[in-house]
Amino acid sequence: MCIRFGTDGWRGVIADDFTFENVERVAAGIGRYLAEEASTSGPVVVGYDRRFLSNAFAERITEVLTAYGIEVELSDAPLPTPALAFWVRWRQAPMGIMVTASHNPPQFNGIKIKSQAGCSAPPELTAAIERWVNRSGTQVCRRPLAEAEREGLLRRFNPSGPYGDHLLSLVDADAIRRAKLRVFADAMHGSAAEYLVSILQRAGVDVVPVRVEVNPSFGGVNPEPIEANLRALGERIRTGIAHIGIALDGDGDRIGVVGPGGEFINPHQIFALLLRHLVENRKERGEVVRTVSTTQMIDRLCRHYNLPLHEVPIGFKHIAALMLERDSLIGGEESGGIGVRGHLPERDGILSGLLLLEMMAITGKGILELRNDLFQLVGEHHYGRIDLHIDGPEGRQAVTEIGKRPPEAICGRRVRETNGRDGIKLLLEDDSWLMWRASGTEPVVRIYAESSSPGDVQKLLNEGEKLLREMITCIGPIKSLA
C-alpha cells in the first residue's frame, strides 16, 4: 500500500488501511527522514486524540522512533491538536506527530505532522516523509516503552498549564470575567473537552459542559461542528439560559457557534466577526488570508478596512505558509479553522472562542446582534455545503470537466468568473458563488455555495449537485490505475 498525505495528514479506516503495520511504516519513514535529512535535533512531540486505539497508535509510533535513537515526548493524556502544536513550538522540537482523524467518522484515524513552527507540515516536508515511508526495504524496529524511558529517550508531557496560560494572555480575560457570560461548551466527545472547559472557567465564564464524555463513536454524530451535527447543542441552549454555545471538532482546532435561541452562526460569519473585532475593537492591522472556499464577506471587509487580502488553496498549511512569511493578522478557512497573529500560524478553536467572548464583553452585545451588525456593513451572506460520497475517480474527473466546460449561468445568474485554484468555483454576477471540490482525505465531493438568503443557497446547492451528477453520467465508469 502506498501511503499519501492529503490536505491535512494521512487518514484511513481503522483495521483496513490504518493498521499498526502501516502506522509503523509511517513512524519508520519519519525516523529515517529525521536521521538522514533533518537539519534540527531535539525531542519529537507525539500526541493523540480520544479515538479508538489512538493512545496505542501513539505508543507504537514512540516505540519505532526511539528504536532509531530519537528522543520522544509523549502526551500523558488525550489533547487537542493546537495544544500539541503549541508544545512543539514552545519546546522548539523538530516535529510534532498527532494521532487524530479530526472531524472524520469514528471508523477513521489518522496522523497529522506539525513542523517546528507549530503549524501543519508544508508539502515539501510531507513529500520527503512519503518518500521514506514508501521506500522498499525500510526495516521497522521497536524499542519497548519501559526501556526507552530507562534510557532517557522517552519523557511524558502535559501542556495544559502553559497552553492555557498562553491563550489567556492573548485576550482580555478581565473583560470577559466582568461580562459574566454563560457558555454551553460542546466538545463533541473530542479530545479538547477538558481543555475547553478549564480554560473558559479560568477566564471567569460560567460553563455548562456538553458532550464532554469519552465516546469513541462520538454519540453517532461525526465530530465536525457543522449545523447538522450541532442539533444537540442547539436543543440544550434553547431549553437552557446561555449567551452562546461554542463547539469544537474532534481534535479541537475548529469552531462552531450556536446563538442563545439555537441559531447556527456559520464559520464564515465567525471569521468575518473576528476580523472585524481585531480591527475595530483591538485596533490591529495586517494582511488577511482566506482559502478559496471562504466567504466574500472577507473580501468586502478588507476593501472597507483597506487591508491586503490573499487567497490560497484549501488546507490550512497554505494559510500557515503566508502567516510565516508575511505580517498576517488573521487567516481562515471554510471549515471553521482560524489562526490569529501572536499565537501560532495554526488554527485553534479554543482561541477563536475566547476572542468571540472578548468581542461580546467589550461591545456589550450578544452574538446575534454582532452578526446582524456585520450584515449591516457587508450585506447579508448565507452559506451551505453538501458532501456527496462517490467511490472511484468519477467524482474528481467530473469536477475537472465542469471547469473545462462551465455553464454560462447558474440559477438565472450570469457566471462572471471561473476560479480553478482548488476545485472549481463559479463566481456569479451578484457575488454569489458555487463550488465543487473532491476531498483530499475522503471519497467525497463537496459542493459549496454562498448567497444572500438561505433559499438561494439551497437552490445553488441543488443545481450544483444536478450538474455534478449529469457530468458523472456523461463520463461513465473510469477504470482506476491504482
Specify which residues 185 forms β-bridges with: 209, 246
Residue 303 phi, psi (nearest 5): -65, -40
Give the C-alpha separation, 399 to 283, whole Å: 42
What DSSP line would sit under 406-450, residue for residue? --SEETTEEEEEEE-SSSEEEEETTS-EEEEEE-SSSSEEEEEEE
Q: What is the pLDDT of residue 318?
A: 92
pLDDT digits (tens, 9 = 90+) for 115-158: 999 999 998 999 999 999 998 777 799 999 999 999 999 999 99
Is 291:252 a contact under the CB 8 Å cutoff? no
User: At 478, is the pLDDT very low, low, confident or very high (cuts 50, 70, 90)?
Assistant: very low
Q: Mind listing the pLDDT tens digit for each residue in 232-252? A: 999 999 988 999 999 999 999
- Residue 413 is placed in which grid cell? 445568474
Q: How many CA atoms lie within 13 A of 229 on its CB side?
A: 26
Q: Is the pLDDT of residue 441 over 70?
A: no
- Please answer whether residues 227 and 202 qualify as being in contact, where contact means their C-beta atoms are separated by less than 8 angstroms: no
CB atoms within 10 A of CB 217: 12
CB-based contact 207:266 (threshold 8 Å): no
Do 432 and 456 touch, CB atoms closer than 8 A? Answer: yes
Predicted local distance difference test score (pLDDT) of residue 439: 82
Distances, alpha carbon 7 to alpha carbons 11, 229, 365, in Å: 10, 22, 37
**Structure confidence by residue, pLDDT tens digits, 18-31:** 999 999 999 999 99
- What's the pLDDT score for residue 391? 80
Q: What is the grid cell recorded at 232?
A: 444537540
DSSP string for residues in 295-343: -HHHHHHHHHHT--EEEE-SSHHHHHHHHHHS-EEEEE-TTS-EEETTS
pLDDT at residue 480 greater than cutoff 70: no
Rounded to whole angstroms, the Cα distance separating 377 from 223 reads 33
Taking only the tens place, the pLDDT of each residue in 294-327 is: 999 999 999 999 999 999 999 899 999 999 999 8
Angle at 340 between CA 335 and CA 341, to 5 degrees: 155
Arithmetic mean of pLDDT, 333-341: 95
Strand stretches in 204-279, DSSP E: 206-210, 244-248, 255-258, 264-265
* Residue 162 pLDDT exceeds 50: yes
* Per-residue model confidence as pLDDT tens digits over 5-20: 887 889 999 999 999 9
Average pLDDT over residues 224-229: 94
pLDDT at 139: 77
Tell me what the pLDDT averaged over the chain comes to.
94
User: Could you give the CA distance from residue 216 to residue 108 in angstroms, rounded to a whole number?
Assistant: 11
Query: Which residues have CB under 8 Å from 68's CB, separation 6+?
Result: 28, 31, 32, 34, 35, 141
Task: Say if pTM beats, i.e. exceeds, 0.85.
Answer: yes
Q: Which residues contact 283 (CB under 8 A, 6 or more apart)?
A: none
Q: How far is 81 from 459, CA to CA, in rounded Å?
A: 36
Q: Read off the pLDDT of residues 41-60 as tens digits, 9 standing for 90 and up.
A: 789 999 999 999 999 999 99
Confidence check: pLDDT of 218 > 50:
yes
Where does the pLDDT of residue 1 fall: very low under 50, low under 70, confident under 90, or very high at 90 and above? confident
Query: Beta 182-186 vs 244-248: how paired, if at all?
Result: parallel
How far apart are alpha carbons 422 and 272 in whole angstroms? 22
DSSP letter for 143, please.
-
Neighbours of 243 (CB within 10 A): 20
Helices in 212-264 by DSSP H: which ranges?
231-239
pLDDT recorded at residue 477:
60
Alpha carbon distance 204, 217 (integer Å) = 32
Q: Rounded to a whole number, what is the distance in angstroms from the first to the last CA of the chain?
A: 10
What cell numbers appear for 143 in the block?
Answer: 524499542
